[in-house]
Amino acid sequence: MRHRFVRNLFQEILKASRLEKIVLIIPFIVLILDAEIFYFAWVNEEKRILLASAFVLILSILEIFAVLEEIHNHLTKLMRREFLEEKIREIAGEMERPTVRKIVDKFMASYPKKYSVDEVYEVACDVLYELRNQQMRE
Protein backbone atom coordinates (compact mmCIF):
# COMPACT_ATOMS: atom_id res chain seq x y z
CA MET A 1 0.00 0.00 0.00
CA ARG A 2 2.87 2.37 0.74
CA HIS A 3 4.39 1.97 -2.69
CA ARG A 4 1.17 2.13 -4.71
CA PHE A 5 2.08 5.52 -6.20
CA VAL A 6 5.47 4.27 -7.39
CA ARG A 7 3.98 1.04 -8.78
CA ASN A 8 1.27 2.96 -10.64
CA LEU A 9 3.86 5.38 -11.97
CA PHE A 10 6.04 2.58 -13.34
CA GLN A 11 3.01 0.83 -14.84
CA GLU A 12 2.03 4.04 -16.63
CA ILE A 13 5.55 4.52 -17.93
CA LEU A 14 5.60 0.94 -19.23
CA LYS A 15 2.26 1.48 -20.99
CA ALA A 16 3.45 4.73 -22.59
CA SER A 17 4.31 4.88 -26.26
CA ARG A 18 7.89 4.85 -27.48
CA LEU A 19 7.80 8.58 -28.22
CA GLU A 20 6.56 9.37 -24.71
CA LYS A 21 9.35 7.26 -23.23
CA ILE A 22 11.94 9.11 -25.32
CA VAL A 23 10.47 12.44 -24.25
CA LEU A 24 10.79 11.26 -20.65
CA ILE A 25 14.41 10.11 -21.06
CA ILE A 26 15.66 13.44 -22.43
CA PRO A 27 15.03 15.44 -19.20
CA PHE A 28 16.81 12.72 -17.21
CA ILE A 29 19.85 13.02 -19.47
CA VAL A 30 19.83 16.80 -19.02
CA LEU A 31 19.38 16.31 -15.28
CA ILE A 32 22.40 14.00 -15.06
CA LEU A 33 24.60 16.35 -17.10
CA ASP A 34 23.48 19.33 -15.06
CA ALA A 35 24.08 17.47 -11.80
CA GLU A 36 27.65 16.87 -12.99
CA ILE A 37 28.08 20.57 -13.76
CA PHE A 38 26.52 21.46 -10.40
CA TYR A 39 28.94 19.13 -8.61
CA PHE A 40 31.91 20.60 -10.51
CA ALA A 41 30.83 24.14 -9.58
CA TRP A 42 30.34 23.10 -5.95
CA VAL A 43 33.80 21.52 -5.68
CA ASN A 44 35.56 24.44 -7.40
CA GLU A 45 33.44 27.06 -5.61
CA GLU A 46 32.27 28.71 -8.82
CA LYS A 47 29.33 30.76 -7.59
CA ARG A 48 28.02 31.89 -11.01
CA ILE A 49 28.11 28.42 -12.49
CA LEU A 50 26.62 27.01 -9.29
CA LEU A 51 23.63 29.38 -9.48
CA ALA A 52 23.07 28.80 -13.18
CA SER A 53 23.34 25.04 -12.87
CA ALA A 54 21.03 25.04 -9.83
CA PHE A 55 18.45 26.93 -11.89
CA VAL A 56 18.73 24.47 -14.79
CA LEU A 57 18.62 21.57 -12.32
CA ILE A 58 15.31 22.83 -10.93
CA LEU A 59 13.95 23.33 -14.45
CA SER A 60 14.95 19.77 -15.38
CA ILE A 61 13.13 18.38 -12.35
CA LEU A 62 10.04 20.42 -13.19
CA GLU A 63 10.19 19.19 -16.78
CA ILE A 64 10.30 15.58 -15.58
CA PHE A 65 7.19 16.16 -13.47
CA ALA A 66 5.46 17.84 -16.42
CA VAL A 67 6.24 14.93 -18.74
CA LEU A 68 5.03 12.42 -16.14
CA GLU A 69 1.80 14.37 -15.74
CA GLU A 70 1.35 14.49 -19.52
CA ILE A 71 1.86 10.72 -19.80
CA HIS A 72 -0.61 10.17 -16.95
CA ASN A 73 -3.26 12.34 -18.63
CA HIS A 74 -2.77 10.64 -21.99
CA LEU A 75 -3.06 7.14 -20.54
CA THR A 76 -6.11 8.13 -18.50
CA LYS A 77 -7.83 9.31 -21.67
CA LEU A 78 -6.89 6.10 -23.49
CA MET A 79 -8.18 3.87 -20.69
CA ARG A 80 -11.38 5.91 -20.51
CA ARG A 81 -11.91 5.54 -24.25
CA GLU A 82 -11.21 1.78 -24.10
CA PHE A 83 -13.84 1.41 -21.39
CA LEU A 84 -16.30 3.40 -23.46
CA GLU A 85 -15.62 1.31 -26.57
CA GLU A 86 -16.08 -1.92 -24.62
CA LYS A 87 -19.41 -0.85 -23.10
CA ILE A 88 -20.70 0.57 -26.38
CA ARG A 89 -19.80 -2.67 -28.20
CA GLU A 90 -21.79 -4.58 -25.56
CA ILE A 91 -24.76 -2.26 -25.99
CA ALA A 92 -24.56 -2.48 -29.79
CA GLY A 93 -24.36 -6.29 -29.58
CA GLU A 94 -27.57 -6.39 -27.55
CA MET A 95 -29.51 -4.34 -30.11
CA GLU A 96 -30.95 -5.74 -33.31
CA ARG A 97 -30.36 -2.65 -35.46
CA PRO A 98 -28.13 -0.30 -33.46
CA THR A 99 -28.05 3.38 -34.26
CA VAL A 100 -25.89 6.04 -32.72
CA ARG A 101 -28.89 7.67 -31.08
CA LYS A 102 -30.08 4.42 -29.48
CA ILE A 103 -26.62 3.55 -28.24
CA VAL A 104 -25.97 7.01 -26.80
CA ASP A 105 -29.38 7.09 -25.07
CA LYS A 106 -28.92 3.65 -23.53
CA PHE A 107 -25.36 4.38 -22.43
CA MET A 108 -26.26 7.73 -20.92
CA ALA A 109 -29.10 6.06 -19.01
CA SER A 110 -26.54 3.70 -17.47
CA TYR A 111 -23.78 6.28 -16.82
CA PRO A 112 -25.52 9.67 -16.68
CA LYS A 113 -22.87 11.83 -15.00
CA LYS A 114 -19.65 9.96 -15.65
CA TYR A 115 -19.34 10.77 -19.37
CA SER A 116 -20.38 13.64 -21.59
CA VAL A 117 -22.77 13.09 -24.49
CA ASP A 118 -20.18 14.39 -26.97
CA GLU A 119 -17.61 11.89 -25.76
CA VAL A 120 -20.06 8.98 -25.98
CA TYR A 121 -21.33 10.14 -29.38
CA GLU A 122 -17.82 10.19 -30.86
CA VAL A 123 -16.99 6.71 -29.60
CA ALA A 124 -20.40 5.34 -30.66
CA CYS A 125 -19.83 6.63 -34.20
CA ASP A 126 -16.41 4.98 -34.34
CA VAL A 127 -17.69 1.68 -32.97
CA LEU A 128 -20.65 1.55 -35.36
CA TYR A 129 -18.36 2.35 -38.27
CA GLU A 130 -16.08 -0.54 -37.27
CA LEU A 131 -19.04 -2.90 -36.82
CA ARG A 132 -20.47 -2.01 -40.24
CA ASN A 133 -17.08 -2.56 -41.87
CA GLN A 134 -16.85 -5.97 -40.20
CA GLN A 135 -20.32 -6.89 -41.44
CA MET A 136 -19.47 -5.82 -44.98
CA ARG A 137 -16.32 -7.98 -44.98
CA GLU A 138 -18.26 -11.03 -43.85
pLDDT of residue 132: 84
* Residue 28 to residue 40: CA distance in whole angstroms: 18
pTM above 0.85, yes or no: no
- Which tens digits make up the pLDDT trace of 10-57? 777 777 778 877 878 888 888 899 899 989 989 998 889 889 888 988
Range of the domain at 82: 4-137
Q: Cβ contacts of residue 122 below 8 Å, gap of 6+? A: none
Alpha carbon separation from 101 to 29, 106, 119 (Å, rounded): 50, 9, 13
The count of domains in the chain is 1
Residue 36 is predicted with a pLDDT of 92
Q: pLDDT digits over 75-129, tens only?
A: 888 888 899 999 999 988 888 888 888 888 888 888 878 888 888 899 888 888 8
